[in-house]
Amino acid sequence: MLRKFASFSILIFLFSCSKSEFVPDQTEEEAAGIEYKLTTYITGDSTDVVTPSQSGICLMGGSTDVDSAIAWMIQRSGGGDFVVIRSSGSDGYNDYIYSDLGGVNSVETIIINSKTKAKKQEVYNKIVNAEALFIAGGDQWDYVRYWKNTKTEDAINYLINTKHVPVGGTSAGCAILSRVYFSAENGTVTSSEAMKNPYRSTVTLGKNDFINIPVLDQTITDTHYDNPDRRGRHVTFLARMVQDWGLDAKGIGLDEQTAVCIDENHVATVFGFGTAHFLRQNGQGPEVCQPNTKLNWNRSNQAVKVYNIDGSPTGNGTFNLNDWSTATGGSWLYYYVDNGTFHQN
């Protein structure tokens, strides 16, 4: 009798554990079997409109948004429905885009803070009906773990590659737009940390498995470039791309309050008040890139070739992402890392 009672108790315990186990992709409510209604905020006309639109990509470096870059997206949307997606926060973009900048039929913010919500057909429908999409700042690991391999990812890629509407993001929302991305799965990493050990647990990269913007193939973005200095970690990311995958490693770094807007011909212009940095490995890969060892990527002080363009409110310079060499309005220089220390010349 005691054995029967003990076995029954164990079964109850195991069943209870299986029901209450917390899955990282879910909110606590969803893990408990409670599915909360999707949170959205809409400003303007809730009736869907269809407007002629042009493709475009807007990469923004974080901090205060660049008005002229968002206006660039609005112009390309043809004044249609502008959708903002995020995993936290609320409707901060609605009045800013609809009233302050103007020229759109509506602005709708969708809070997608779990994988369950990211899989909803309702979310998919709202996104694919947009004439412009912007991904707010936040935590890029939330975006990866919630949105990857869901209808949300499918909808984003539909807008980019089928509907051809402007798509952009700032900070974490920009970080996930490149084909190679820093996932921040284990938290952030500083330049000095990355250069001292390119394989430390916080240097977490994803490749070709999330958002598909073809012009950003073999490319990794980095934001808040000037606060703190992220040049060293960006070069480390490129070193890993070469070492691990044999890629022709490229990168776009963005200072805060700075945006790179890429048109349908894959030509970029820089808006805002900081600098955009276009990086490409200059021939050979790193001399030393291995775990628990300082990065060494010198190559005669010319490891990574860089073109820097200062932004302006009306847009400055051009950089052609078809060849990564035709450029105007900026200047060329080189980045390199010598025994774990960043240099430029």
What pLDDT, in 10s, does the model give residues 64-81? 999 999 999 999 999 999
Q: Are residues 203 and 127 in the same domain?
A: no
Give me the mean pLDDT over the 225-233 stretch. Answer: 96
pLDDT at 14 over 60: no
Q: Are residues 199 and 317 in the same domain?
A: yes
Give me the mean pLDDT over the 316-343 stretch. Answer: 99
Please tell me the distance from the alpha carbon of residue 201 to that of residue 184, in angstroms, as a whole number: 10
DSSP-based three-state secondary structure for 147 = helix
Please tell me the distance from the alpha carbon of residue 71 to that of residue 102, in angstroms, as a whole number: 8
pLDDT at 188 over 80: yes
Reported confidence tier of residue 25, pLDDT bands at 50, 70, 90: low
pLDDT at 196 over 90: yes
The confidence score (pLDDT) of residue 70 equals: 99
Q: Are residues 128 and 269 in the same domain?
A: no
DSSP-based three-state secondary structure for 150 = coil
Mean predicted lDDT score pLDDT of the chain: 93
Whether omega for the bond prior to residue 313 falls within 30 degrees of 0, making it cis, is: no
Between 27 and 342, name the one with better pLDDT. 342
pLDDT at 22 over 60: no
Whether 8 is in a domain gets the answer no
- Of 103, 135, 170, the one marking the end of a domain is 170
The confidence score (pLDDT) of residue 119 equals: 98
Residue 214 CB contacts under 8 Å (≥ 6 apart), including other chains: 161
The pTM for the full model equals: 0.90
Q: Are residues 94 and 213 in the same domain?
A: no
Domain containing 87 — which CATH number?
Answer: 3.40.50.880
Q: How many domains does one find in the chain?
A: 2
Q: Are residues 298 and 195 in the same domain?
A: yes
Give me the mean pLDDT over the 224-242 stretch. Answer: 98
Tokens of 308: 């820097």
The 8-class DSSP code of residue 296 comes to B
Give me the mean pLDDT over the 8-30 stretch. Answer: 43
- Of 153, 170, 187, the one marking the end of a domain is 170
Whether 9 is in a domain gets the answer no
Pick from 30-44, 73-87, 290-304: least confident = 30-44
The confidence score (pLDDT) of residue 258 equals: 99
Q: Tell me the per-residue pLDDT of 91-120, one tens digit each, with 9 for 90 and over.
A: 999 999 999 999 999 999 999 999 999 999
Whether 331 is in a domain gets the answer yes
Tokens of 185: 């799965």
Please tell me the distance from the alpha carbon of residue 303 to that of residue 312, in angstroms, as a whole number: 29
Q: Are residues 253 and 228 in the same domain?
A: yes
Q: Are residues 72 and 158 in the same domain?
A: yes
Q: Are residues 163 and 198 in the same domain?
A: no
Report the sign of the C-alpha dihedral through residues 211, 214, 218, 219, in that order: negative
Q: Are residues 320 and 231 in the same domain?
A: yes
Q: Are residues 142 and 241 in the same domain?
A: no
Tokens of 323: 């060849």
- Of 170, 192, 221, the one marking the end of a domain is 170
Whether 16 is in a domain gets the answer no
Is residue 271 within 8 Å of residue 292, measured between CB atoms?
A: no
The confidence score (pLDDT) of residue 228 equals: 92
The confidence score (pLDDT) of residue 308 equals: 99
184: containing domain: 178-345
Q: Are residues 148 and 200 in the same domain?
A: no
Residue 323 CB contacts under 8 Å (≥ 6 apart), including other chains: none
Q: Are residues 225 and 143 in the same domain?
A: no
